[in-house]
Chains A and B, each alone.
Chain A
């Protein structure tokens, strides 16, 4: 339970899993940009095609991929219905008071739904195929140029990795505190939402205090291991760019170009 509590890494070995985390991050940003550049179904179609290829090559089961959509199912439905009923189009199919269903409305709703699904699925593909540790390394490496403007890249990366490291520890502790409170008759399950939120306070306060104590001890332990900031530090792990990354970058450039051209030559959705 502690393993899946954060992140949703799906541990298999695949083409996508082996990609450099930096490449995956850049790819994600490019892909999201492409989704927003796409102004018609052809452009979106190109995005769908690329995403489908990613899913196939990642060996993450389709059921798992679709599960990431569940969280925003309501949002998708809501957006679709609102647009369907209120979009002011010309070809009216059905009208009832202020509610109109038009051909343009239907097309636009479908367009938005596809766009939303693409956004969610592509982001979760990153977390399915990349461990949090690799992601942190990737972010650190991508931010390295910011050192020129004195941005503390090393410190930021260390903070992220310690945070990741501490999540299971603090979860365990929260559970322990909760059990201790339960043993003394605290009730976390009944009552309305406000009561339940209030019941969490006696867990949060000890957890916070202990986190401070842990931070203090961790600081001592780090100093004892000669930590003095990023100066003269070397790094054991090195990220390597391989042919896979080159190929993916090529696909990425291709996608952006295609989407831009489709937008210019085919125009908007309707």
Chain B
């Protein structure tokens, strides 16, 4: 049984609008998957399909075997947490702990249990110290971590980060990705990161590339980033380290492509000593 399965899914936003012709992919439990795509590639539509905010025209989306439909909607939403793009548009309450409690309150969690879940969720994102702070006073990255905590308080098994870092500064982006990686490794949570930053895809076990509603590439991030020419046709960049490796190649230093800073440093050091 897959954590998330898209089977022959087609979807369109009405006549002439954006459409996904036919989509098939699966995510295993405990996996960390990145979905890469340029603007308008349909990657954000995936998040909304996975959690029943949108319904496919044809085909089925299922979460741990349960189809995402009217009947299973509630069950599915408890399993799939989605963190959206704009940190300002997903907090409901003015105070951090009240906002984190919101989801847990919605599903009728007893009071004492909500307290415990707030503790758990805020410590998972490293925001315990801000429990009683006003949301409006936090930085973008902190707000987004509160949004993640709000999702965690529902104890989901899958967390989808739908471009959750797009509006953040580099520091905020790093904070969010660290939290995602930690949740994956320590809590065994299935993570799907939807992004257009290649750096973020590099952290994943597997990367999927979307273009115009279709899945065009799939594989280990390191493997995908070796296919540079192909990525360019989908309006995607290499991660910065990949660009450095590429320039080195073009400049006549044939380093091995590893997409890893330390290994690259060693490679360069090796080349330099050999060359001299």
Give the residue name and chain of the B residue nearest to A161 (CB): B93
Any chain B CB within 8 A of the CB of A220?
Answer: yes
B162 to chain A, nearest CB (A): 9
Whether the Cβ atoms of B92 and A162 lie closer than 8 Å is yes
Any chain A CB within 8 A of the CB of B101?
Answer: yes
- From the candidates A3, A165, A235, A236, name the one contacting B91 in the complex (CB within 8 A): A165
Give the residue name and chain of the A residue nearest to B109 (CB): A234
Q: List 16 A-B contacts (CB under 8 A).
A: A133-B94, A161-B92, A161-B98, A217-B90, A218-B89, A220-B84, A223-B53, A224-B151, A226-B74, A227-B102, A233-B106, A234-B114, A236-B114, A236-B115, A237-B98, A238-B111
Cβ contacts under 8 Å, B97 to chain A:
236
Cβ contacts under 8 Å, B89 to chain A:
214, 217-218, 221
> In the assembly, what is the distance between CA of A168 and CA of B137, in Å?
9
Query: Which of B75-83, B217-225, B236-244 is near enough to bind chain A?
Result: B75-83
Whether the Cβ atoms of A233 and B108 lie closer than 8 Å is yes
Interface of A is mostly: helix
Any chain B CB within 8 A of the CB of A30?
Answer: no
Any chain A CB within 8 A of the CB of B258?
Answer: no
Any chain A CB within 8 A of the CB of B150?
Answer: yes
Any chain B CB within 8 A of the CB of A169?
Answer: yes
Nearest first, the 7 closest Cβ-Cβ pairs linking A and B are A221-B90, A168-B136, A225-B103, A217-B89, A236-B101, A232-B108, A226-B106
Whether the Cβ atoms of A228 and B106 lie closer than 8 Å is yes
Cβ contacts under 8 Å, B142 to chain A:
none
A217 to chain B, nearest CB (A): 4
Q: In the complex, which residues 133-164 of chain B have their Cβ closer than 8 Å to any Cβ of chain A?
A: 134-137, 147, 150-151, 154
Cβ contacts under 8 Å, B90 to chain A:
217-218, 221
Any chain B CB within 8 A of the CB of A50?
Answer: no
Interface of B is mostly: helix
Cβ contacts under 8 Å, B109 to chain A:
234
Residues 46-59 of B, flagged 1 when their CB comes within 8 A of A and 0 if not, give 00100101000000
Chain A: residues with Cβ within 8 Å of the partner, total of: 30
Whether the Cβ atoms of A226 and B154 lie closer than 8 Å is yes
In addition to A221-B147, A227-B106, 5 A-B residue pairs with Cβ atoms within 8 Å of each other are A133-B93, A165-B135, A221-B84, A228-B74, A234-B109
> In the assembly, what is the distance between CA of A165 and CA of B92, in Å?
7
> In the assembly, what is the distance between CA of A223 and CA of B76, in Å?
12
Interface size class of B (residues with CB under 8 A): 35 or more
Cβ contacts under 8 Å, A161 to chain B:
92-94, 98
Give the residue name and chain of the B residue nearest to A224 (CB): B82
Any chain B CB within 8 A of the CB of A155?
Answer: no
Any chain A CB within 8 A of the CB of B261?
Answer: no
Whether the Cβ atoms of B98 and A220 lie closer than 8 Å is no
Contact (A236, B135) CB under 8 Å given A133-B94, A225-B154: no
Any chain A CB within 8 A of the CB of B20?
Answer: no
Any chain A CB within 8 A of the CB of B110?
Answer: yes
- From the candidates B51, B92, B103, name the one contacting A218 in the complex (CB within 8 A): B92
Contact (A236, B92) CB under 8 Å given A133-B98, A169-B136: no
Residues 43-56 of A, flagged 1 when their CB comes within 8 A of B and 0 if not, give 00000000000000
Any chain B CB within 8 A of the CB of A132?
Answer: yes
Any chain A CB within 8 A of the CB of B88?
Answer: yes
Any chain A CB within 8 A of the CB of B107?
Answer: yes
Any chain B CB within 8 A of the CB of A164?
Answer: yes
> In the assembly, what is the distance between CA of A237 and CA of B104, in Å?
12
> In the assembly, what is the distance between CA of A226 and CA of B75, in Å?
9
Residues 154-167 of A, flagged 1 when their CB comes within 8 A of B and 0 if not, give 00001001101100
Cβ contacts under 8 Å, A222 to chain B:
92, 102
Any chain A CB within 8 A of the CB of B105?
Answer: yes
A23 to chain B, nearest CB (A): 21
A194 to chain B, nearest CB (A): 34
Contact (A226, B103) CB under 8 Å given A133-B93, A237-B98: yes
Whether the Cβ atoms of B77 and A224 lie closer than 8 Å is yes
> In the assembly, what is the distance between CA of A15 and CA of B178, in Å?
44
Whether the Cβ atoms of A164 and B108 lie closer than 8 Å is no
Give the residue name and chain of the A residue nearest to B50 (CB): A224
Any chain A CB within 8 A of the CB of B23?
Answer: no
B77 to chain A, nearest CB (A): 5
Whether the Cβ atoms of B134 and A236 lie closer than 8 Å is no
- From the candidates A218, A220, A228, A235, name the one contacting B111 in the complex (CB within 8 A): A235
Whether the Cβ atoms of A234 and B108 lie closer than 8 Å is yes
